Amino acid sequence: MKKIIAVLLFLLALGALMPAGVHAQDTGRSLGIPFVDLTVRSPESNKEVALSIQLLLLLAVLTLAPSIVILMTAFLRISIVLDFVKRALSLQQVPPNQVLMGIALFLTLFIMWPTVTDIYENSFKPFSEGKMNIEEMYTSAEKPIRLFMYKQMSGDYDSVRLFMNMRKLPRPDSLADVPTFVLIPAFVLHELTVAFKIGILLFIPFIVIDLVVASTLMSMGMIMLPPVMISLPFKLILFVLVDGWGLITQQLVASFK
């Protein structure tokens, strides 16, 4: 690594010491160091102002990309359910949150792969080949995402009606008439509800174990002994015997339409 850094510094120093009138072709070989020029000037037309605004909006979208991935995909439900599992088992540090988020990310890719493939084949690829403009690309990429969110609602559109009423929008003739800025918060609210319902079902068997252990310790007069210390091994044994991770993964994937 030190040798590589030394070579790079030497090449940069050589490029800086080279006379301004000497070009790369005059030296007989190319150094491979690109020329970077950044200029800031006043816009000459409204078109340049609009282009600058579009660039700022693009940077803002890229900054919010992780939040978009979390809110418009299966990641939200999966991450909440996995966190419920960790809390139900009374685990503090194992598995780490980074591991749980990694599991949620790859499960999201597994579930969303058909949608991602559809977006690539019908939106990004034609745009890269010059067959459609950026507006058509956005419309084509929006359709699979909207279809995915509608499928997860499974006909339960109460959250959609809630946000439509909050914005005082007219009743849509079809689901295609629902604006995307209404569909996204409705989908987030639905996913939170579903994730919490799954979390409650996960908590029930472990709560029973906690109650049995706590009542046993009370009957034996061991009031000062924390019940969590005794119930934790029983929870882990039960979770491993029933193949908890496999069942949770299978049911999570099956919960997505």
pLDDT in tens, 54-100: 777 777 777 777 777 788 888 989 989 988 888 888 877 778 888 88
State what percent of residues in the chain have pLDDT above 90: 1
Angle at 190 between CA 118 and CA 61, to 5 degrees: 55
pLDDT for position 142: 83
pLDDT for position 25: 45
pLDDT for position 253: 87
The span from the CA of 107 to the CA of 74, in Å, is 8
Residue 237: closest CA among 209, 218, 217, 214: 209
The span from the CA of 216 to the CA of 234, in Å, is 14
pLDDT for position 32: 53
The span from the CA of 31 to the CA of 40, in Å, is 28
192 CB burial (10 A radius; 0-12, 13-18, 19+): middle
Mean pLDDT per 10-residue section of the chain, whose length is 257 residues: 47 44 44 55 65 74 76 88 86 82 89 87 80 79 86 81 84 82 88 89 85 79 72 82 86 84
Kindly report the pTM of this predicted structure. 0.71
The span from the CA of 151 to the CA of 124, in Å, is 23
Tokens of 190: 């639905």
pLDDT for position 18: 46
* SS3 assignment, position 9: helix
Matching residue, tokens 């044994």: 237
Matching residue, tokens 């803002």: 60
Is 123 within 8 Å of 137 (Cβ atoms)? yes
The span from the CA of 233 to the CA of 240, in Å, is 11
Tokens of 179: 């604006």
143 CB burial (10 A radius; 0-12, 13-18, 19+): middle
pLDDT for position 144: 87
187 CB burial (10 A radius; 0-12, 13-18, 19+): buried
Residue 164: closest CA among 146, 179, 147: 179
Matching residue, tokens 């946000």: 163
Amino acid at 194: V
pLDDT for position 210: 80
Tokens of 35: 């020329």
> Would you give the DSSP letter of residue 242?
T
